[in-house]
Amino acid sequence: MREALTTDGIVVIGFVNLIGGWVSTPIGDTESSQINWLNKRLVDTVANSINAFADDLRRNSGIYVLVSSPAAVTPIKGSAAYSAAKASAESWLKSLAIFFEGSNARANTLIVHSLVSDKDRAKYPDRKFPHAIDTKILADQISGLWNQRLENGSRTCL
């Protein structure tokens, strides 16, 4: 991944991890395939991208943004593996924040319950989307990080 970008002369100044996925994983009724599915999407993508771009981001005063969930800190009923995977992803980000210490690079986490778009609203006109953040608002928040000076390692609830 990194080599494909940097060999073309691209300077990496940011990485946004917005990989999602959810599956019900209640205690006592979760199969290892569900755990593996979540870990592949929620943990491995973070670990692999951090390993690929940490040096570039540190050198270029870049920002790594992880979009995560409140479930990483406060698990909800029926989501044991999901909550554990999100917590693991956030632990990777905290480790990256430590790696960035002494530089101008930052590792920031944005917390959302769920996302909703105009397409979702059109597809489900009668559905309410409680606690959902509009994708346009999330995009504005992410792009605004380069103009803000959030503290390295911060976790911001939207």
Per-residue H/E/C for 66-130: EEECHHHCCCCCCEHHHHHHHHHHHHHHHHHHHHHCCCCCEEEEEECCEEECHHHHHHCCCCCCC
**Average per-residue pLDDT in the chain?**
93
pTM assigned to the model: 0.91
Q: 12-116+125-157: what CATH class?
A: alpha beta
The pLDDT-based confidence of 22 (bands split at 50, 70, 90) is confident
Averaged pLDDT, 93-109? 98
